[in-house]
């Protein structure tokens, strides 16, 4: 993915990129920023600069999705207002986006704005670079004062799988309602099936095409965008993964169920079982344990996925060992994390390939994909981790956070459309004293796509 991040300030300014732009304004005063904005715009207008042709490759309308014959590349505009006007007028004046599309983009959740014109209030520094603090804009007619920053995702990523209906259901809403396997209003818990090709939650440029919103609409029976309150995702699945998910109706119920997922409540649990489809036979039935960099800490920027290390109990326990400091027990920084799963069964599939059942014991990002690739059995369709197959390193906590910047890493592919991974079983055991609700149920998902 790429951004046209040099398309800022209402004109095409070669050489001015988003990163350098942020670096400049993070160290400048508000008056200097205002002057820089206005001078840059005047220069663009005076030189009669126009938007390049490839930037104008944006759809004339956002809906319906079925009119799209080919997905357009990501196109992100970074602009700042120079006079008081409505949000939709500012977008249409500062970019080649027509008003109709600008309105649709705002309602779709593809536009973000700073809530203040003061740079000191919306510029923050992360570990790598300055970042603009923004909130999603949902009102096209919102009035903006001068010097307000706007980011517009002109070609948001679309997910047509959201609109696919089943043979038994005629409408989209009834299709999503049929995917709900359990709903307890007093506990605020929803268990539902998500097909592949559908996000679990909203993305930066798409607020509505996801399981969280669609299930909320199905239960509440409303298509009004203002009435839709997305559910809280408690067991997230990737876009390319299908299977059962757990949602919380509101923040309070999500907090309660979240404690069960983290193992913070005695005799309460949620067990997640996955079906894995590979070309090669997994090594054995039993426990797989690896160590991984925690969220890629210490890795060169832009390099992912991060390496997987062979599990060494003695070294890992030494790394996690509690030690006394000023009379209090503290823990080592979480540079590394443990990944553990149990392969419960393995069987060969007619026509080729192997199926295996996995009980997840720790919930790390892409854990099954990473661990199966580490043992030389990447999942079918997993272009991202296929090149990492069989690459396992020896764990050395003394080198925590110290990676050789000259080290070469295998290239990883793009995220696939569908994957040989299916969350086929959930066992939920919850006893909530506050709502006087007791749940002890097992849920099974429909068959995966490869059957």
Between 66 and 415, name the one with better pLDDT. Answer: 415
User: What is the overall mean pLDDT for the chain?
Assistant: 76
Is residue 76 domain-shared with residue 140, that is, in the same domain? yes
Check whether 21 has a pLDDT greater than 70. no
Is residue 350 domain-shared with residue 236, that is, in the same domain? no
382: cis peptide before it, omega within 30°? Answer: no
Residue 67 binned pLDDT confidence (cut-offs 50, 70, 90)? very low
pLDDT of residue 281: 93
- % of the chain beyond a pLDDT of 90: 37
Assess contact for 109 and 206: CB atoms under 8 A.
Answer: yes
The answer to the question of residue 409 being in a domain is: no
The answer to the question of residue 138 being in a domain is: yes
Check whether 63 has a pLDDT greater than 50. yes
End residue of a domain, out of 121, 153, 185: 153
Q: What is the CATH number of the domain that holds 179?
A: 3.30.2350.10
Kindly list the distances between the CA atom of residue 220 and the CA atoms of 3, 191, 201, 351, in Å, as whole numbers in the listed order.
Answer: 37, 15, 17, 44
Strand partners, 356: 276, 346
Q: What is the DSSP string of 363-386?
A: --TTHHHHHHHHTT-PBTT-HHHH
What lies within 8 Å, CB to CB, of 131 at 6+ separation is 22, 123, 124, 125
Residues 393, 311: Cα–Cα separation, whole Å: 9
Residue 25 binned pLDDT confidence (cut-offs 50, 70, 90)? very low
pLDDT of residue 310: 85
Which of 160, 240, 224, 234 is closest to 191 using CA atoms? 234
Residues 189, 243: Cα–Cα separation, whole Å: 17
End residue of a domain, out of 234, 261, 288: 261
Is residue 32 domain-shared with residue 149, that is, in the same domain? yes
Is residue 58 domain-shared with residue 111, that is, in the same domain? yes
Q: Is 325 helix (H, G, I), strand (E, B) or coil?
A: strand
Residues 201, 214: Cα–Cα separation, whole Å: 10
Least confident of 18-27, 372-381, 382-391: 18-27
Residue 167 binned pLDDT confidence (cut-offs 50, 70, 90)? confident
Least confident of 28-42, 167-181, 235-249: 28-42
Is residue 291 domain-shared with residue 201, that is, in the same domain? no
Is residue 93 domain-shared with residue 182, that is, in the same domain? no
What lies within 8 Å, CB to CB, of 433 at 6+ separation is none
Check whether 412 has a pLDDT greater than 80. no
Between 30 and 144, name the one with better pLDDT. Answer: 144
Assess contact for 67 and 158: CB atoms under 8 A.
Answer: no
Is residue 149 domain-shared with residue 178, that is, in the same domain? no
Quick one: residue 313, left, alpha or beta (phi over 0 = left, psi -120 to 50 = alpha)?
alpha
pLDDT of residue 379: 94
Which of 444, 257, 277, 239 is closest to 358 using CA atoms? 277
Q: Of 10-19, 53-62, 327-336, 358-367, which one has max mean pLDDT? A: 358-367
Handedness of CA 173, 175, 178, 182 (dihedral sign): negative
Assess contact for 418 and 381: CB atoms under 8 A.
Answer: yes
64: cis peptide before it, omega within 30°? Answer: yes
The answer to the question of residue 202 being in a domain is: yes
- % of the chain beyond a pLDDT of 70: 69
Strand partners, 151: 78, 112
Between 319 and 347, name the one with better pLDDT. Answer: 347
Is residue 189 domain-shared with residue 244, that is, in the same domain? yes
Check whether 120 has a pLDDT greater than 60. no
The answer to the question of residue 418 being in a domain is: no
- The parent domain of residue 146 ranges over 18-153
Check whether 353 has a pLDDT greater than 70. yes
Check whether 82 has a pLDDT greater than 80. yes
Is residue 147 domain-shared with residue 169, that is, in the same domain? no
Helix boundaries (H) for 8-161: 18-26, 30-46, 87-94, 99-107, 119-122
Assess contact for 218 and 229: CB atoms under 8 A.
Answer: no
- Residue in the structure block whose two tokens are 């939709």: 88
pLDDT in tens, 286-326: 999 988 876 554 444 444 567 788 888 777 776 665 444 55
The answer to the question of residue 385 being in a domain is: yes
Q: What tokens does 51 get?
A: 């938007």
Least confident of 30-34, 151-155, 383-387, 436-440: 30-34
The answer to the question of residue 107 being in a domain is: yes
The answer to the question of residue 430 being in a domain is: no
Check whether 342 has a pLDDT greater than 90. yes
What lies within 8 Å, CB to CB, of 124 at 6+ separation is 130, 131, 132, 133
Between 67 and 214, name the one with better pLDDT. Answer: 214
Check whether 27 has a pLDDT greater than 60. no
Is residue 147 domain-shared with residue 168, that is, in the same domain? no
Least confident of 249-258, 386-395, 404-413, 440-449: 404-413
Is residue 148 domain-shared with residue 192, that is, in the same domain? no
Between 102 and 43, name the one with better pLDDT. Answer: 102
Between 363 and 122, name the one with better pLDDT. Answer: 363
Residues 356, 77: Cα–Cα separation, whole Å: 45
Total domains in the chain come to 3
Mean pLDDT of 247-266: 88
pTM: 0.78
End residue of a domain, out of 261, 294, 313: 261
The answer to the question of residue 445 being in a domain is: no
Least confident of 49-53, 83-87, 326-330: 49-53
């Amino acid at each position: 993915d790429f951004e046209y991040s040099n398309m800022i300030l209402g004109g095409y300014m070669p050489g001015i990129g988003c990163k350098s732009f942020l670096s400049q304004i993070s160290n400048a005063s508000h008056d200097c920023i205002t002057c820089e904005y206005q001078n840059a715009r005047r220069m663009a207008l005076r030189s009669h600069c126009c938007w390049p042709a490839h930037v104008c490759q944006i759809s004339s309308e956002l809906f319906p999705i079925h009119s799209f014959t080919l997905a357009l590349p990501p196109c992100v505009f970074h602009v700042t207002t120079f006079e008081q006007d409505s949000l939709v007028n500012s977008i249409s004046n500062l970019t080649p986006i027509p008003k109709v599309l600008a309105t649709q983009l705002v309602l779709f959740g593809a536009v973000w704005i700073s809530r203040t014109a003061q740079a000191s209030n919306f510029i923050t520094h992360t570990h790598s670079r300055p970042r603009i603090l923004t909130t999603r804009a949902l009102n096209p007619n919102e009035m903006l004062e001068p010097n307000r920053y706007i980011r517009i995702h002109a070609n948001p990523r679309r997910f047509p799988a959201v609109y696919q209906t089943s043979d038994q259901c005629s409408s989209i809403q009834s299709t999503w309602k049929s995917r709900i396997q359990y709903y307890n209003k007093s506990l605020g818990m929803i268990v539902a099936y998500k097909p592949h090709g559908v996000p679990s939650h909203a993305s930066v440029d798409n607020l509505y095409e996801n399981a969280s919103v669609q299930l909320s609409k199905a239960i509440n029976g409303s298509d009004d965008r203002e009435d839709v309150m997305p559910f809280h995702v408690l067991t997230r699945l990737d876009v390319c993964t299908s299977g059962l998910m757990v949602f919380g109706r509101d923040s309070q119920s999500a907090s309660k169920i979240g404690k069960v997922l983290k193992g913070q409540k005695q005799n309460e649990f949620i067990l997640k079982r996955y079906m894995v489809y590979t070309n090669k036979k997994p090594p054995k039935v039993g426990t797989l344990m690896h160590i991984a960099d925690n969220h890629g800490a210490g890795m060169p920027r832009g390099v992912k996925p991060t390496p997987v290390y062979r599990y060494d109990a003695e070294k890992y326990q030494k790394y996690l060992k509690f030690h006394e400091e000023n009379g209090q027990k503290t823990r080592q920084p979480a540079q590394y994390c443990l990944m553990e799963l149990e392969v419960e069964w393995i069987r060969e599939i007619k026509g080729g390939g192997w199926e295996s059942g996995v009980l997840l014991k720790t919930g790390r990002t892409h854990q099954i994909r990473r661990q199966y690739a580490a043992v030389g059995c990447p999942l079918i369709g997993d272009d991202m981790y296929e090149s990492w197959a069989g690459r396992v390193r020896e764990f050395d906590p003394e080198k925590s956070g110290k990676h050789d910047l000259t080290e070469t890493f295998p290239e990883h592919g793009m995220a696939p459309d569908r994957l040989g991974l299916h969350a086929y079983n959930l066992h939920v055991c919850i006893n909530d004293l506050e709502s006087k609700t007791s749940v002890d149920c097992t849920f099974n998902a429909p068959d995966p796509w490869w059957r």
